[in-house]
């Protein structure tokens, strides 16, 4: 019997939530180092990222790195059923949003053109199939965009298969603590 997305999501979130804070910190640091090896990341001037929460790969140092290099950091804010990305100059520009996730304050300028988009993932396949949180925000945002995408994931979050729907958007590169995977995105 094929796994449903909901069952897979629950399994991978439970597995991820069992990771110790130390392991999350160590893996996140290695993922950040591996991200730094990717030319698209190093060359990008405007980077869309996300503010990590819970047991997600930690993005605080990645965001700090983007800002300290004088690049544009764009973070998402939920606006009805969509994500809008806004220019964040400092962490004081953030506030708790609708889902308890830090997001840009209202005064932050909207950004719609990016050199790179870093997306969160519950699980990934090596072919670029992403399992998100089930609300479709990133799939709607990424639909039709040609901007290179990178998902940050723990090696434990790599799945053999994820059920695929037409509206699902594949990711170009997956960065784990162990490897950089260039997907066979078609």
H runs (alpha helix) in 37-166: 39-43, 60-68, 137-142
**pLDDT band at 133, cuts 50/70/90?**
confident
Determine the average pLDDT of the residues in 43-48: 98
- Indicate if the pLDDT at residue 2 is higher than 60: no
- Indicate if the pLDDT at residue 16 is higher than 70: yes
> Using CA atoms, how far apart are residues 152 and 120, in angstroms rounded to an integer?
6
pLDDT for res 40: 95
User: Please, are residues 130 and 169 in contact by the beta-carbon 8 Å criterion?
Assistant: yes
Catalogue the E-assigned strands of 21-146. Answer: 46-48, 72-79, 82-88, 94-96, 102-104, 110-111, 116-119, 123-124, 130-131
Question: Of 181, 160, 119, 155, which is closest to residue 30 (Cα–Cα)?
Answer: 155
Q: What is the pLDDT of residues 144-169, one digit of tens each?
A: 899 999 999 999 999 998 988 888 88
Instruction: To the nearest 10°, report the CA torsion of 27, 85, 94, 102.
Output: -50
pLDDT for res 99: 80
Residue 134 burial (CB < 10 Å; 0-12/13-18/19+)? exposed
Q: Which residue has the tokens 């729907």?
A: 165
- Indicate if the pLDDT at residue 59 is higher than 60: yes
| Structure-token pair, residue 13 | 């979130």
Q: Spell out the domain ranges in the chain.
A: 5-179
- Indicate if the pLDDT at residue 186 is higher than 50: no
User: Please, are residues 69 and 55 in contact by the beta-carbon 8 Å criterion?
Assistant: no
- The topology under which CATH files domain 5-179 is Rossmann fold (3.40.50)
H helix or E strand, kind and range, residue 152: strand 149-152
pLDDT for res 1: 39
Q: What are the angstrom distances between the C-alpha of 60 and each of 10, 66, 78, 117?
A: 25, 10, 19, 16
- Indicate if the pLDDT at residue 176 is higher than 80: yes
pTM, to two decimals: 0.93
DSSP state of 158: B
């Amino acid at each position: 019997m094929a796994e449903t997305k909901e069952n897979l999501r629950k399994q991978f979130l439970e597995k991820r939530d069992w990771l110790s804070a130390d392991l999350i910190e160590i893996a996140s640091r290695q993922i950040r180092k591996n991200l730094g090896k990717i030319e698209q990341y190093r060359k990008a001037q405007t980077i869309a990222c996300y503010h990590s929460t819970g047991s997600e790969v930690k993005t605080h140092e990645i965001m700090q790195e983007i800002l300290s290099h004088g690049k544009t950091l764009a973070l998402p804010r939920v606006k009805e059923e969509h994500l809008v990305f806004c220019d964040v100059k400092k962490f004081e520009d953030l506030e708790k949003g609708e889902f308890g996730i830090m997001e840009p304050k209202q005064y932050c300028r909207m950004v719609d053109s990016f050199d790179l988009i870093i997306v969160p993932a519950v699980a990934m396949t090596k072919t670029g199939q992403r399992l998100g949180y089930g609300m479709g925000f990133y799939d709607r945002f990424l639909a039709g965009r040609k901007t290179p995408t990178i998902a940050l994931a723990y090696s434990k979050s790599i799945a053999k298969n994820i059920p695929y729907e037409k509206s699902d958007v594949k990711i170009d590169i997956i960065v784990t603590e162990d490897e950089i995977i260039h997907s066979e995105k078609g």
